[in-house]
Amino acid sequence: MAHTVSIRKAIHEWRLYFFVLPVFILLGTFHYYPSLSGIYHSFFDWSGGDVEEYIGLRNFQRILSYNFKNHTWVYDLNFWISFKTVLILTVFNIVKMLPSIAIAVLIHRVSSQRWQYWYRVMLVVPMVVPGLVTLFVWQNLYLDPNWGIVNKVFNVLGIKSMLVGLDRFFGWNIFQPGMPIAWLSQPELIIPSLILWGFPWIGSVGVLIFLAGLQSIGTDVYEAAELDGANGWQKFMNIEFPLIMTQIRLSLILVTIGTLRDFGLQFLLLGENGGPGGKGMVPGLWMFNQGFVAGRFGYACALGLVILAFILVLTYINNKFVRVDK
């Protein structure tokens, strides 16, 4: 810890305050001020210019309120549907953490030091390629109905005919024989495309976080398990999984909050309206849409605050219930 200094010394060292000045000027101007301005403007009808009109809570009432006069609910349908979408995506994004955990454990158990290093190098490689490039390659080469790799692979592996069979059985009317699967253009397939995106779902940062956690497990624990004759799976369930709970919890928080907050993927793959039928609309994108497309900046600020409230609740739940017992 930094030690406390006497007042005299502090006066003598007054120039030190200049060290902290830049950061407060920067944060004050470009972080605190806009945040407070966002809260302030959520009570205004504001289209981004100099004209603004105070409208009290009406922005929030438009998001969700009960009208006592005609006994009806007033709500922003698109916004609440977008929460349903984001809930589905969150569940799948959590499931998509599993390959990362598995790969981390596998790399950790590789016995050669050199390979452990090279596998880490290989993990970093996808991170060095700009995320946008990967995303656009997926959009253009993978998910395209006509020449897309996904459709090719599905045809070869027989998944396509399986899907057609299931379709006939359940009457979805999505997968037709002889017709390519229109991943990003058929409303019903938007969410499946977003889930499929990024296969095999190895998040480099995630794996590296898990590896850091695995590294801190002592070898003696493994030796003891070895003596007891534990097999690989038992070692995973009884040693690795519990001991990297901290890291899993950290990624769980990062994943849930990230899914709720980010909208870049949906924006880039599907456009500002969330794709055909708005099926890919997520809360952040709706905020962006209301601000920059519809020009209702005050309302967008209010939407942002509601999303923030959800994020805070989620963080609280995460801290409270996803406990680590060490």
Rounded Cα–Cα distance for residues 146 and 267 (Å): 23
At its nearest, how many Å lie between other proteins and the CB of residue 127? 7
- Tell me which stretch binds other proteins (CB under 8 A): 71-79, 88-96, 105-113, 172-180: 105-113
| Minimum CB distance to other proteins smaller for 88 or for 202 | 202
Tokens 């030690």 map to which residue?
3
At residue 64, φ and ψ (nearest 5 deg) are -165, 120
300 class by beta-carbon count within 10 Å (0-12 exposed, 13-18 middle, 19+ buried): buried
205 residue type, one letter: V
- Sole binder of other proteins in the list 91, 95, 132, 313 (CB under 8 A): 132
At its nearest, how many Å lie between other proteins and the CB of residue 305? 6
Nearest of 140, 142, 77, 74 to residue 274 by alpha carbon:
77
Contact flag: residue 54 with other proteins (CB under 8 A): no
At its nearest, how many Å lie between other proteins and the CB of residue 34? 4
Contact flag: residue 176 with other proteins (CB under 8 A): no
Do residues 324 and 249 lie in contact, with contact meaning Cβ atoms separated by under 8 Å?
yes
At residue 227, φ and ψ (nearest 5 deg) are -60, -35
Rounded Cα–Cα distance for residues 326 and 316 (Å): 20
- Sole binder of other proteins in the list 86, 174, 184, 208 (CB under 8 A): 208
At its nearest, how many Å lie between other proteins and the CB of residue 6? 10
- x/- string (CB under 8 A) for other proteins, residues 216-235? xxxx--x---------x---
17 class by beta-carbon count within 10 Å (0-12 exposed, 13-18 middle, 19+ buried): exposed
Rounded Cα–Cα distance for residues 203 and 120 (Å): 12
Contact flag: residue 285 with other proteins (CB under 8 A): no
Considering only residues 290 through 319, tell me which ones interact with other proteins, judged by CB under 8 A: 291-292, 297, 300-301, 303-305, 307-308, 311-312
- Tell me which stretch binds other proteins (CB under 8 A): 39-47, 53-61, 157-165, 183-191: 39-47
At its nearest, how many Å lie between other proteins and the CB of residue 173? 29
Contact flag: residue 205 with other proteins (CB under 8 A): yes
- Tell me which stretch binds other proteins (CB under 8 A): 63-71, 80-88, 114-122, 183-191: 114-122
9 class by beta-carbon count within 10 Å (0-12 exposed, 13-18 middle, 19+ buried): exposed
- Sole binder of other proteins in the list 57, 87, 91, 129 (CB under 8 A): 129
Contact flag: residue 55 with other proteins (CB under 8 A): no
Q: Which residues contact 304 (CB under 8 A, 6 or more apart)?
A: 38, 42, 287
Do residues 184 and 270 lie in contact, with contact meaning Cβ atoms separated by under 8 Å?
yes
- x/- string (CB under 8 A) for other proteins, residues 60-99? ---------------------------------------x
| Minimum CB distance to other proteins smaller for 278 or for 291 | 291
Rounded Cα–Cα distance for residues 113 and 289 (Å): 50
Contact flag: residue 124 with other proteins (CB under 8 A): yes
